[in-house]
Structure 1
Amino acid sequence: MAEALGIASSIIAVVDLSAKVLSLCLQYSREVKNAKDDIDRLHDEVAAFQNTTEKLEALLKEPRGMELKASQQLLSSIEDAHSTLEQLKHRLRPSTHRKAMSRFGARAFKWPFESKDVVGVIQTLERCRGSISLALNIDQIVILQNVDDRTILSQLPAAEGASFDSHAEEHNPTCLPNTREELLKEIDCWIDDPKSKTIFWLNGKAGTGKSTISRTVARSRSKQGDLGASFFFKRGEVDRGNLSKFVSTVARCLAWSTPAVAPYIRSAVNADPAIADKAVREQFEKLVREPLLKATATSLSRPSVFIVVDALDECEKDADIKLILQLFSNLRFAGPLCVRVLVTSRPELPIRLGFSSIGNAHQDLILHKIPLPIIEHDISVFLRHEFANIRNNFNTDAVEELKLPMDWPGEANVGKLTKAAVPLFIFAATLCRFINDRYIGSPDELLQSVLNVAGTGQGSKLDMTYSPVLRQQVLHRSGSERLDIIESFRLIVGTIVTLANPLSMRALALLLDVHVSKVTTRLSALHSVLDIPETLDAPVRLLHLSFRDYLVGLEERELAEFRVEERHTHQILAKHCLRIMRGGLQKNICSLPFPGMRRSSVDFGQLEKRMPSQLQYACMHWAYHQTSGEPKLSDDKDVYGFLTTHFLHWLEAMSLLGRVKECLDTLRLLARWVETLEGSSLSTFVADAERFVQAYFSVAAETPLQIYCCLAFVPRKSVVRRTFENFIPKWISNLPKVEENWDACLLTLEGHSSWVRSVVFSHDSKKVASGSDDETIRIWNAETGECERELKGHSSYISSVVFSHDSKKVASGSDDETIRIWNAETGECERELKGHISNVNSVVFSHDLKKVASSYDDGTIRIWNAETGECGDLVSLHGYAGVLSFTLDGRGIVTDCGTFPLTCSSQSRPGSAMPWQSSHAPMLACTDSTWVTAAGKDLLWLPPECRGGKVAVSGSRVVIGCLSGRVLVLGISMADMEQWMDTTNVHDKRVQQTSECNKKSRNLHLLNLIN
């Protein structure tokens, strides 16, 4: 900073000197005739020098002047120029003698330099000017690169409010001085110890102060300069309750906080602009792990990065919790990389299971097991601090006789409240906010109400925390007033704790169709439990999730009227969402000037104006509320009426919001909900609407108004087309000829770069696994087509993939002569089975998940222990065979060359075939190259690019791997399937040996169509 101030002051002095020297040169130019060339040359160089230094001065004065690193190093050049200019000024300034002579008419000016002196001065100034110009050029390039970096990194989506220093977290507390000292010291020691575990799990019950501690540590380490990123999960916030923006937020924070990492994150985004849409594991690898490793490899010192992940238990999906822990724990294997991750959460079962799965990669500390005297001391310090603030604030404007005494509330009362609060800091924090709420009473009055509840010793800690707040709502109210207050409380506060995403008071009033004053009045007495902003347009948030838990589970007889009935509240919100959308949605809602306008070009201000927050909320969450309420047939009719009128308007609105994927989720959610209703007319429309969105997903996601043009290409008998045929733009004069019905292709899964040899459905039909010649396995969501995991580890093509019977594991066989067992939820390779020197043809799990069977090119089948990786039975065959299934009891193995018993011996011959209970066998569908066949009957003809690989069937869906690397999911009419089942005695069929048991054969015959 001192050097920066030095360069700034030196530049100012040089600019000032340049101006003085120029003025003197002009005087000499007028008075001296015999040195005009030297004077002009010197004048021009000083003028050029002044121009350059003025630019530098202007840049250094700008807010980003401190970023001009090269220019900040110019002090020596500036000092040289200053010295030269000072000498020039001194020699050019007329002496006192010459001034006196001028009064007698003598010439006062005489050029004081020889030509060679002028050349030397000009060269010095040119050299200084060149150095300055070069530094400016360097700095400008760096600034442009930084702008480019910022532009690229801004493409990474960030979860709003997730960072510890975000506006949403701004007013949340940190630990007071002299509290949590030992705990904070222990965390600091763990961060600074290069030999400590990668993850520190700080766990505790609700209200024990976990978030306050993580916020304190994040702020402290940010000041020290080693905080890489922070992510505070919060259930009910759109992007803070899941992993949709978790990795991209962490990567973005790392790029800003750790300059050495930024270029590598930028390169990853440059290489794949859609990286933030990829599977979480791939995002983490490309945006976090690899950039950290590369930055470490190029650094002279071993950099340390600290990351905070708060309230992990508020992440919605159990599988995502496990995945986060797995990804961070794997960083311990990343060579010299020094990453420390503080994770806080409640000790919920999914969290405990997640930590047990990563073994000893973490150390933990249980907050509610910290010795009570320490907790009691910290809560006591907190209460004294807060009560002093309450007393001082109240006394500032209270009349003299009402002022609180300086010892208020008294040692005895502090002691009582401290003992009542232990071990919950949320109790202490809530009661202090409650006592400080001037809207509902004086501090002393409210203190007494808290002491009355605490003194009874009855009820849970949550009762003692929140019951004073509820009692105060109806204190001294008559019967009718009490009922009105409770009714509005359940409507307004019940809505706040049920919303999928927080809304402002204004949006809340519009959503519930009440006057905004009713909302503000009801919330005015709830500052102790809700984060209520000063403006009507900022979101209202819960201060702590435990308040929601308390209201939903409220059982205390006296306060049971305040209980929030979730299903009833959902039902009310669903009706209001439909009302808001009916009144707000229309075609071209943002008045886009032409049909092909991209969503990215829409002005955000225009979008916010045409689609206010209550309408946005309704569009995104109406189905969540609809399906979470009490199912009634009348609700079905309401939804049917809305969809058959506004489906395309809703899809357009969701496109503008960048939420087309959520449309598919919504329609599938509705489809499952409709199944619970009797006599519903909605299912046909929802199914067809889903096909419509799937078919034109990419169009809808990019160009909102093209949705209406897509109707021209929809099959003639489509329900959506028939319903909205009038919406086809009139300027499409010649409508194309289209099919009568939708074709069989439901999804095209793209991601593999080479032939997909093996595909399989999970046994719950929710996922598809594919193995490719690109040496990877991909796990796909069978409903959305999203790639959820990419599994890497094999060194040659994948010949076979299979799910376990609980759908939680995947086994893969490869030409690299190994089998790998993967966790399907996290993507972790749990076991590698190797030792047999031959290419793997096929793999399969036993029903009890304890064994894996694999067949090889050399005509053998090995049985492996899936838990230990040891090889057990070896079945030797006469030729090529593929493994199809274990028998139900696990004592036999079924191949396309027969069924063979498993014994305790090391080898079994194919002499004694076993009965196979085929009615319980898993579905394996295959192709004779041209047709998918079933018991000798042709079921599905395949085009050339879909031939040669394996095929799998689940219910009415068929999945096929293609030579191009694509995976196709086809839908087959259930009527056709049932007809085929009726004509095929699959229950009585026995697997027959085939003459095609040889290595060259690539045919695979359909053995059982039951999944």
Structure 2
Amino acid sequence: METVGILANVIAVVDLSVKLGIVCGEYLIKARNAKADIQKLQEESDSLARIITQVQDLLEGNSTEQSHRIQLKASATFRYNVEQCQKRLHELTERLYPNKNPSRMRMIGKSLKWPLTSNEVSEDIANLRNWRDCFLAALHLALQREVKEDVRSLPSTPGAAFDSYDNDSAGLCHPDTRQDLLHNILEWADDPDGRCIFWLRGPAGTGKSTISKMVAKMFADRDQLAASFFFNRTREGRNTDKLFVTTIARQTAGRVPALKDIILGVINKDQDLPDKSLEFQLSKLILEPFNRIQRSGATFPTLILVVDALDECGYKHRSVPGPIRLGFLEDVAAESHQDVTLHDIPEPVIEHDIRAFIESELGTIRVTHAITRDWPGDDVVTQLVKASVPLFIYASTICKFINDKKRRFRPQTQLDKVLRRNQGFRSGIEVTYGPILDQLLDGLDEVQSKELQAQFRKIVGAIVLLADPLSVISLGELLGIEDDEIRYLLDSLHSVLDVPEDNQPERSVKLFHLSFREYLLQPHPGGDNTFWIDEKSKHKELFDCCLQVMTDQSGFGLRNDICRLDDPGVLRIEIPREKIYQHIPRSLEYACRYWVMHLKESGSRIHAQDAVRVDEFLKRYLLYWLEAMSWMSLLQQASGDLLILEDMFSDVEGSMQSDALPFLKDARRFLSENQHAISLSPSQIYVSALIFAPKASLVKQKFQCEVLDWIVKMPEVPEKWDLTSRTLHQFKSYVKSIAWSHDGRHIAVATFDEISVWDAASRTLLERSREMRHINCVTFTNHGMLVIGLLSGGILLWDWAAHLETPFVIGNRLCGVVYVSAATTGKVSCVLSNGDVYLMNEAFDVIHTWYTCWRPSKGDKKRTHWEFDLDRLSRVHFSRNGKIIAIIANEQSNSIHVHDAESGTIIRSLSVPEGQIFFEVTASDEGLLLATVGSFQEDRPHLYDAAMEAFIWDVNGTNGSSSPSSPRIISSFHGLKPTVNQHGLLASTGEYLYLKIWNILKHPPELAHTLRYSTCVSFSPDGQYLGNADFPAVKITSINTLDCVNDAQCCTIDNDDSVHLNSQSLSPDGLRLAVVSSRGKVTLWHMA
């Protein structure tokens, strides 16, 4: 009732203020006296009405957060002022309203007499103004809260802004340095015709970040800074561009009031915007709001976005821009940026700036240490300058070393160490970092020196190789070293490491610059390798440390019910983050997240001893580790880690492989089947996941003892994992293409106007783009990106993890792309609808061009009923290993040219007997090339009747005794879509829906197996498995025995979908078969 009361008061004030304005208007017309007083009171009344109406809208509006309305209603001051205002307005209207108070005025003809004195009017105006200001302040505060909360709905990266605490250690440019460059940047910003990007480039250490921070501060001081984002590969969140656009949009909304409402409107309209591509986010959150402001006629100064170290966001093809003029971003093109390269600045200018910086720093040292004004002398300064040019980081590090933050050494002593290093024309990096490390050994004998070097490699080696920086406390817990020991060593390294003070226990130890990491990890031929760190060996040590932390039972190690909840049904979202990390400290979190990464980085192959340790760890701690990863929302990563381990154990020889590999495969299947349930409630890994696992599950057998005691009777479960199907997604439109990533972890599905990438194990959607149109075909590159062929012409390279689309125009823009293929070497081939064939390198530069007849010559009109089938023929084959490309080469379709993919030259030219044509071509990586051959005849109603024979050539001459120029022939082949594996097996579907498998290494080729009811077939990339699907079965066949490994005939299949199977694809490991129905349903069959 109290809430209703205050709203009623506000409505009454609105009504009374409006009435007062109307009454005053009537008096202005009819009263002969006091017109100035009447007009002032009317204006104040109208102003109050506008403000209080906005307050009413705020209190009644559905779009405003309930919490904001409650806060406004709960304000005692606000309530008191509303009540007093209502009371006085009521008194005024009663006194002024002619019909209510005839005694207060008299009629003179048609005139009214104003009843208030000037003093009364002045007092009322003052009161109304005070109330208006009070309501305006309350409204402003509430709306500020609303804006703040709404803007917070945009995810952002902490520490990304130039003035954040995390960037505090990075200084600004010295006033006497970079003057010309900074002046040029200001001129660029003030030039209305200037280009939209000022592109600042240069090697590491040239001062780009310092300049960027200085530029951001300059524009912030001029109220021209819209936002800033400082990437950093060693900082979580700032080493990826995932939140780049939302972060700058959030900053912009706070800094530019004119854009605030537009950006908030975009957020409210599309809640899924932060999950869409960066280009789409940029368009909706930045470009379109700016364009709307410009079209409205509003004027404001040029706004600047400062971005630093874009090359550190994890995408190797990107460069490092500096400031960007937001008002002109829609015009960005290759020629639209102003390019400045720091290392191209004349050396005298760089030398002058570095000298100015060093002299200033040495001047500060002179004052701090009370040294004479002539110290250290011009000659010494010149030596330091020459040792530093052209890298400011060297000058900065040298000065920090001389100053010695802990004041243990005199500046002259430190300077002498630098100068000694400078003798003998050593490199700048040695002169910079050598004295800092040499100092650690001062006064130590040989035994002590070796002990300190070992300590340095253990502590500093970990710091430079950690995937995520740790505090001193967490680092000590990970390495098993006392905090004091770490601090004692780091006290001598303040010039190269950002070491937090003792009163900042949560701050991480960080590198000032990556050049120090590079100096330690790279051997110096002929130089000093005293402190060199063996990268692989150090990763191995960190792997050992991670295992030690996770298995520690005396402290915070992994265990059942790690958060001590004693409630297997509790949901993860019900537990506060703070409580979770009370039981999973930072060191344990790091160990769980990165132990597999450190193992992988320790060498290309896993050593037998490490294999034993991993096997023992998993067979004791697997469920505990998965539970912890679930509490940290990292189950997706855990699935990938198990796959990495499986790949590593595949290379292990002997009994370890036969013992550990099946357990790993079972663990992956165990997690895949239960990932959703465990991600919602981590403790379910010991309940539903275990008790419903099949009896033969190795994970269930090993961890049966973890089942809760109160579960007395176990349910009936199958003997082993069965072949199960899971719907990946029901797409609304026809699925044009599917593709597996080279490692089998991801699957891409493309429709005409949408492409999505999914995690195959968990069936989780990882990325989706609905902005693409006219998609026809898709393939993964060897780096995990997607190449998309468009019917509208050209191809797109989609780095879906980095949210970046890069278009490439290939050949005739009017011709669609009908085929794309990417080899393991990085080369990509594509075919256009006009028959043009292109081969490109990793940069998508065209290196070779050929032509194919996309369809066999029509001949006569009798083949028109084959039109649809002809469109699906494979007229070009690009080998998976990237060595050859085979093309049916002319309009008559009677010759095939086999080209060397590197040089483009023809290495084989193959032909058919007169009167026949080639229909399709395919090949194995080992050089077995197969083509279907036949002719169009009126009495052959189906295309597989026309393709009567198959010709097989041994292109390399290594797969049999026959001559490379003499083909082996399969008569009465009658098949389409042939596929060949590296073991000499040919599979093809043909007449009566039969799948036939031939051994083409035999001479003549031998029919090895026949399966019924199959319309689509594919080999796994390793050639070990053959997947085929058609109603009513989904099957996978081992080529070693040609026996059916698994058969889904007993499984329920939606007849509506399975009758019309459109396509299928087998994952590289042969464990999953993706089946696509003609109705857009994609199903993953798990074969293990």
- The two structures have a TM-score, normalised by structure 1, of 0.72
Is 1:622 the counterpart of 2:589? The answer is no
Question: How far did residue 137 of structure 1 move?
Answer: 5.3
Q: Secondary structure at the residue paired with 1:682?
A: helix
Alignment partners' CA distance in 2, 1:273 and 1:962:
31
Is 1:945 the counterpart of 2:914? The answer is no
Residues 167 and 806 (structure 1), Cα distance of their counterparts in 2 relative to 1, 3 Å cut: closer
Structure 2, unaligned stretches of length 5 or more? 1-47, 56-67, 93-104, 107-112, 840-844, 878-883, 898-913, 930-976, 980-987, 994-1011, 1019-1027, 1035-1047
Question: How far did residue 241 of structure 1 move?
Answer: 2.3
Residues 451 and 239 (structure 1), Cα distance of their counterparts in 2 relative to 1, 3 Å cut: same
CA contact (8 A) 1:261 1:292 kept: yes
Q: How does 1:442-841 map to 2 (within 5 A)?
A: 442-454=410-422, 456-535=423-502, 536-555=505-524, 559-583=528-552, 584=556, 585-592=558-565, 594-630=567-603, 631-678=606-653, 679-680=656-657, 681-711=659-689, 712-730=691-709, 736-744=715-723, 749-750=728-729, 752-761=731-740, 768-772=747-751, 775-780=753-758, 790=768, 800-801=777-778, 810-812=787-789, 818-825=792-799, 826-831=804-809
What is the identity, as a one-letter code, of the residue corresponding to 2:350? I
Q: Which has the higher contact order (CA 8 A, sep 6+)?
A: 1
CA contact (8 A) 2:779 2:820 kept: yes
CA contact (8 A) 1:780 1:789 kept: yes
- CA deviations 1:845-878 (Å, max 9, x no partner) are 6998565143xxxxxx754668899998574543
CA contact (8 A) 1:756 1:961 kept: yes
Question: How far did residue 762 of structure 1 move?
Answer: 5.6
Question: How far did residue 654 of structure 1 move?
Answer: 2.1
**Range that drifts further, 420-429 or 869-878:** 869-878
CA contact (8 A) 2:277 2:769 kept: no
What is the identity, as a one-letter code, of the residue corresponding to 2:787? V
Alignment partners' CA distance in 1, 2:274 and 2:445:
57
**Range that drifts further, 207-216 or 579-588:** 579-588
Alignment partners' CA distance in 2, 1:459 and 1:611:
47
Q: Secondary structure at the residue paired with 2:529?
A: helix
Structure 2 match to 1:310:
308
**Range that drifts further, 174-183 or 653-662:** 653-662
Structure 1 match to 2:249:
251
Question: How far did residue 580 of structure 1 move?
Answer: 1.2
Alignment partners' CA distance in 2, 1:745 and 1:290:
47
Structure 2 match to 1:204:
202
Structure 2 match to 1:17:
none
- CA deviations 1:523-547 (Å, max 9, x no partner) are 1111111111112432111111101
Structure 1 match to 2:217:
219
What is the identity, as a one-letter code, of the residue corresponding to 1:461? G
Alignment partners' CA distance in 1, 2:220 and 2:331:
14
Alignment partners' CA distance in 1, 2:516 and 2:776:
53
**Range that drifts further, 932-941 or 613-622:** 932-941
CA contact (8 A) 2:754 2:770 kept: yes
CA contact (8 A) 2:693 2:700 kept: yes
Alignment partners' CA distance in 1, 2:836 and 2:652:
47
Residues 147 and 547 (structure 1), Cα distance of their counterparts in 2 relative to 1, 3 Å cut: same
User: Of 362, 374, 394, which residue of structure 1 is paired with 2:349?
Assistant: 374
Q: Secondary structure at the residue paired with 1:885?
A: coil
Question: How far did residue 750 of structure 1 move?
Answer: 4.6
Alignment partners' CA distance in 2, 1:708 and 1:537:
34
Structure 2 match to 1:991:
none
Question: How far did residue 202 of structure 1 move?
Answer: 1.7
What is the identity, as a one-letter code, of the residue corresponding to 1:411? D
Alignment partners' CA distance in 1, 2:137 and 2:244:
34
Alignment partners' CA distance in 2, 1:413 and 1:748:
73
Structure 1 match to 2:871:
882
- CA deviations 1:868-896 (Å, max 9, x no partner) are 9999857454332223323457674499x
CA contact (8 A) 1:789 1:827 kept: no
Structure 2 match to 1:1005:
none
CA contact (8 A) 2:1063 2:1077 kept: no
What is the identity, as a one-letter code, of the residue corresponding to 2:228? S
CA contact (8 A) 1:892 1:900 kept: no
Residues 949 and 116 (structure 1), Cα distance of their counterparts in 2 relative to 1, 3 Å cut: same
CA contact (8 A) 1:802 1:845 kept: yes
Structure 2 match to 1:972:
1087
What is the identity, as a one-letter code, of the residue corresponding to 1:410? G
User: Of 158, 171, 191, which residue of structure 1 is paired with 2:169?
Assistant: 171
Alignment partners' CA distance in 1, 2:726 and 2:346:
57
Question: How far did residue 190 of structure 1 move?
Answer: 2.8
CA contact (8 A) 1:175 1:213 kept: yes
CA contact (8 A) 2:785 2:798 kept: yes
Alignment partners' CA distance in 2, 1:155 and 1:446:
51
CA contact (8 A) 1:281 1:789 kept: no
CA contact (8 A) 2:176 2:357 kept: no
TM-align CA RMSD: 4.7
Is 1:239 the counterpart of 2:237? The answer is yes
Alignment partners' CA distance in 1, 2:494 and 2:315:
31
- How many residues are treated as equivalent by the alignment? 828
What is the identity, as a one-letter code, of the residue corresponding to 1:243? D
Q: Secondary structure at the residue paired with 1:225?
A: coil
CA contact (8 A) 1:160 1:239 kept: yes
Question: How far did residue 962 of structure 1 move?
Answer: 4.9
Q: Secondary structure at the residue paired with 1:147?
A: helix
Question: How far did residue 930 of structure 1 move?
Answer: 8.4
Give the structure with the higher percent strand: 2
**Range that drifts further, 124-133 or 445-454:** 124-133
Identical-residue share of aligned pairs (%): 29
CA contact (8 A) 2:888 2:921 kept: no
User: Of 377, 380, 384, which residue of structure 2 is paired with 1:417?
Assistant: 384
Question: How far did residue 237 of structure 1 move?
Answer: 2.6
Q: How does 1:41-80 map to 2 (within 5 A)?
A: none
Alignment partners' CA distance in 1, 2:358 and 2:783:
52
Q: Secondary structure at the residue paired with 1:492?
A: helix
What is the identity, as a one-letter code, of the residue corresponding to 2:873? L
- The two structures have a TM-score, normalised by structure 2, of 0.67
What is the identity, as a one-letter code, of the residue corresponding to 2:1084? V
Question: How far did residue 466 of structure 1 move?
Answer: 0.4
Alignment partners' CA distance in 2, 1:305 and 1:531:
33
Structure 1, unaligned stretches of length 5 or more? 1-48, 57-63, 89-112, 342-357, 396-403, 855-860, 904-909, 974-1011
Residues 158 and 278 (structure 1), Cα distance of their counterparts in 2 relative to 1, 3 Å cut: same
Residues 834 and 233 (structure 1), Cα distance of their counterparts in 2 relative to 1, 3 Å cut: same
Q: Secondary structure at the residue paired with 1:945?
A: helix
- CA deviations 1:937-994 (Å, max 9, x no partner) are 9661663335453323344132233567553333435xxxxxxxxxxxxxxxxxxxxx
